[in-house]
Structure 1
Amino acid sequence: MTTERRDPATTADERPMLEDWLEYHRQTLALKCEGLTDEQLRTASAPPSGLSLMGLVRHMAEVERHWYRKVLAADDPGPIYYSEADPDGDFHPTEADTWQEAHTTWQTEIDIARRNAADVSLDDLAKGRHHSGKQFNLRWIHIHMIEEYARHNGHADLIRERLDGATGD
């Protein structure tokens, strides 16, 4: 699978601008993972940190699910990778975990996120609530997701460079 990343529009209205930046960062994470084996994708390349590229993708699947399903749409299908026993399970892929599964799950959550956000205005309050009890509008969720991806894409840059020397934006 080859990811094509589009630069965000520079003169768009607010919503298309936010959606373009969110897509850009989703595509960036996918690009950071391309061309690597499952073993490389599971490798925590900067000990003592346990972060791996597959762990980041699994984490972002959980984050997409949380904000666009649980909070925005009030649909709580439960966690994918973490549990009470392992609250950071998304970051702990095992040898049995594959890129194909992680990528497919992540893309499924992104597709659901897009559908759930499609008919909601930026100012509309989410139907659900965050575990803090706070309500959020779609604008806040989109901006938070851009920040979440941007931060983790920085991690992905460093992990990828440690794995095979590949650098880039």
Structure 2
Amino acid sequence: MADTPQFYSHELAGDRVERPLTGDERHMLTSYLDWQRDTFRLKCAGLTPAQLSTPAVEPSKLTLHGLIRHLAGTERWWFRMQFAGEDVELLYYSDDDPDMDFDRLDGDPAEALAVWEAECARSREIVAAAASFDDEGRSWRYDKPVSLRRVVVGMLCEYARHNGHADLLRERIDGATGH
């Protein structure tokens, strides 16, 4: 993996969406989810592939590259597979290697980022197409109905948790905080 500086630029990451102070449930929840996604994107901006793939908080082996892969898989799992019922392959997961999203960092981080971006875009399409947050899919995991509201709220929690991890990793890599 090449160690080219500024592989991801802050310009590529762009600005975060504004968090609204008012609005209906759909607007509030989707805006906050996009804000969390943008926060994660900013945590990865300006780093080389080697930095993205380096564990920075010992003894943990967690990396930003692993988080990119994990969040791409989580987007796909909840929005496409659990809610929309799409018949697509799992990303970075197998029964033999359930932690491959975090543990196996084969491949280019730029490719993983592109996959994550595509999964986020597809998730937005699924949310936009739903008539209501009361719409339901069928959870394979629980073999029960799952509402779009539950999926979006669950993803907000997922990003909030992992953005905390990303913040610590980024600070240890180059001292950057905030975003």
**Counterpart for residue 37 of structure 1:** 48
Match of 1:132 among 111, 135, 142: 142
The structure carrying a bigger strand percent of its residues is: 2
Distance 2:76 2:160 in 1: 18
Distance 1:34 1:149 in 2: 16
Query: What is the alpha-carbon root mean square deviation over aligned residues?
Result: 1.2
Decide whether the 8 Å contact of 2:13 with 2:38 is kept in 1: no
Alignment of 1:109-124 (within 5 A): 109-120=119-130, 121-124=132-135
**Counterpart for residue 172 of structure 2:** 162
Output the amino acid matched with 2:136: L
Superposition deviation, residue 97 in structure 1: 1.9
Output the amino acid matched with 1:99: P
Superposition deviation, residue 79 in structure 1: 1.3
Superposition deviation, residue 3 in structure 1: 2.1
Query: Structure 1 stretches of 5 or more lacking a match?
Result: none
Distance 1:138 1:86 in 2: 29
Match of 1:150 among 154, 157, 160: 160
TM-score scaled to structure 1, two decimals?
Answer: 0.94
* 1:106 and 2:135 are equivalent in the alignment: no
Decide whether the 8 Å contact of 1:70 with 1:76 is kept in 2: yes
What percentage of residue pairs aligned between the two structures are identical? 44
**Counterpart for residue 68 of structure 1:** 79
Superposition deviation, residue 81 in structure 1: 1.1
Give SS of 1:136's match.
Answer: strand
User: Number of matched residues?
Assistant: 167
Deviations 1:10-37 (A, max 9, x none): 0111110000000000000000000000
Distance 2:164 2:16 in 1: 16
**Counterpart for residue 29 of structure 2:** 18
